[in-house]
Amino acid sequence: MTEAISVGSVEDISGQPDQYVNHLAEVNKTNDVVSTDDIYNKHGILLVRKGARIGSDMAQRILQHKLMKPLEEQVQLDRTLNATTVLAAFARFCETYPDIQKIHSELDFDKRFKNLVQRIEFANVIAQKLTVLQDRLPQKFENAVLCGWLATLIATEMNLTGDLIQTVLLAGLTHDVGLLHIPLEIVNKSGELTVAEWRAMQSHVVVGQLLLKNTKGVHPRAAIAVIEHHERCDGSGYPAGKTEEQLDVLGQIIGIADSVLAIRLHQFAKHGRNFRDALPYLHMNSATHSSAVYNAMHALLSKSKLQPTQVNTFQTPSALVDHLVACGNQLKNVVTLLEELQDLALLSGAGVEAKRLYKVTQPVVRMISSSGLLREEILSWLQSLQQQPDEGALGELIESELMQNELYWQIKKVQRMLNEFVEKKLASLNANDQERVQRIKTGMDAIFAAK
């Protein structure tokens, strides 16, 4: 008997009420959503008759109950996404992002990609989820289509078999559909997530896995790829903190595609940077991703013939240098805090949570060290540029800024894990360790408050 995705089970996974029915009610305003069966709650009480439209009133009734069967198996949309829809969306995104079009063209991938998309057999429930994703979370749908594209490029570069490339494409398209079950205010929140909200966000990989696992005809490794796309080879990912020998390469392909796209579509889009500017990110994360996947992604960027941009987000070279010096000094303080946190996590009797905190902290300390940004000669060079600017150094300065941005993102990951540790385990520590944890947390909070 397979696991079912129901209102109750998703709520148990995420700690939040399942929001999918609310998305269906909104979609119903422009695209009829009709029940295909009588819908019962888990006690066998009839909630919705077959043939009823799922509007807002009906949604509120369903929200109050745990269902006998998954809701998505009991409703039908009048119009659902298909291969033509996906290819049309990809064409629009290529117009929006010329560097993506250039990669696509330089690698002569158009015919191959179209064939791959046209070969997908969109199961009813998958077509339904992607249609709702396109309507309700359009930016996530954009990421889904582009992730499917980039992941298939990586898999092709790695010479994977045709069926595995097809599996990677489906996993890329569906890797974030679990977000449809999480409250919109959490998914779209621009500020810092609370521990409970972050826990809910992490649940999307489990929900997505269950969807694919319970869909007939889907390759089992697609479900594995979805649940593992936020896992990292150094053990710093989620939901299980697995390490490289425990991970399926397909999930790592989705993971690197998703990460690079997040940087390109969000960080870079604001400043006119392109895909090629993601190389510093790759260099910083060479131990985070499997070597085969890393090498394939690196090769694709090299083959794209894109050139790095010379975008100075601080307008003047001197302002950029001042920023780099300030961040360099701040990173020294961060390393001190993180090293103490590592020691504390090793000594703590807080069990699994302490071990996970250590697993997340250790690679970040290593990444800061290996970046070279805190070497005395680099810091001295930056300080000399404050006194005597050098226009010829702009390229190196911009790359240093990109590397610092990635370091702060990684440090943010440690901060989230520390907040969760404090919530769950602080009270179980002795008084001295409690004081140390609180001091480290205060220091970490102050760093991001300053930024």
Residues 339 and 388 reside in one and the same domain: yes
- Annotate 187-200 with DSSP letters as a single string: HT--SPPPHHHHHH
Q: Per residue in 57-104, pLDDT tens?
A: 999 999 888 888 889 999 999 999 999 999 999 999 999 999 999 999
pLDDT of residue 4: 39
Give domain status of residue 208, yes or no.
yes
- For residues 30 and 111, state if they share a domain: no
The whole-number pLDDT of residue 83 equals 97
Which of 57, 77, 97 terminates a domain? The answer is: 77
Looking at the structure, do residues 111 and 245 belong to the same domain, yes or no?
A: yes
Are residues 271 and 341 both part of a single domain?
Answer: no
What spatial distance separates the first Cα and last Cα of the chain, rounded to whole Å? Answer: 50
Residue 422 is assigned to a structural domain of this protein:
yes
- Based on the domain organization, do 187 and 105 belong to the same domain? yes
Give the number of domains in the chain.
Answer: 3
Whether residues 69 and 89 share a domain: the answer is no
1 falls within a domain: no
In a domain, 401, yes or no: yes
195 phi and psi angles, rounded to 5 deg: -60, -45
Say if residue 98 is in the same domain as residue 120.
yes
Q: 70 is in which domain, residue-wise? A: 7-77
Whether 198 is covered by a domain: the verdict is: yes
Task: Retrieve residue 111's tokens.
Answer: 């015919």
DSSP 301-363: HHHTT-------TTSSHHHHHHHHHHHHHHHHHHHHHHHHHHHHHHH---THHHHHHHHHHHH
What single-letter DSSP state applies at residue 287? T
Backbone φ, ψ for residue 75 (5° rounding): -135, 160
Let me know whether 52 and 119 are in one domain: no
Looking up residue 187, the CATH number of its domain turns out to be 1.10.3210.10
CA distances to 104, 125, 411 from 121, rounded to whole Å, are: 24, 11, 41
* 223 class by beta-carbon count within 10 Å (0-12 exposed, 13-18 middle, 19+ buried): buried
User: In this structure, is residue 39 part of a structural domain?
Assistant: yes
Distance CA 373, CA 404 (A): 8
What is the residue-level pLDDT of the chain in tens, covering all 451 positions? 233 344 345 666 767 778 999 999 999 999 999 999 999 999 999 999 999 999 999 999 998 888 888 899 999 999 999 999 999 999 999 999 999 999 999 999 999 999 999 999 899 999 999 999 999 999 999 999 999 999 999 999 999 999 999 999 999 999 999 999 999 999 999 888 999 999 999 999 999 999 999 999 999 999 999 999 999 999 899 999 999 999 999 999 999 999 999 999 998 988 899 999 999 999 999 889 999 999 999 999 999 999 999 899 898 999 999 999 999 999 999 999 999 999 888 876 668 888 889 989 999 999 999 999 999 999 999 999 998 888 889 999 999 999 999 999 999 999 999 999 999 888 888 899 999 999 999 999 998 887 6
Question: Is 13 a domain residue?
Answer: yes
Same domain for 289 and 404?
A: no
Q: Nearest to residue 113, comparing CAs of 150, 158, 157, 75?
A: 150
Which of 31, 59, 77 is at the close of a domain?
A: 77
63 contact partners, CB below 8 Å, separation of at least 6? 7, 17, 18, 21, 22
The pLDDT, as a whole number, for residue 7 is: 38
Give the pLDDT confidence score for residue 18 in this predicted structure.
Answer: 87
Residue 350: predicted pLDDT: 66
| Together in a domain, 182 and 277 | yes
Please identify, among 77, 97, 126, the residue that sits at the C-terminal boundary of a domain. Answer: 77
Task: Assess if residue 309 is contained within a domain.
Answer: no
240 and 387 fall within a common domain: no
DSSP 2: -
pLDDT tens per residue, range 358-406: 989 999 999 999 999 999 999 999 999 998 888 889 999 999 999 999 9
Q: Is the same domain home to 186 and 217? A: yes
Give pLDDT, residue 410.
93
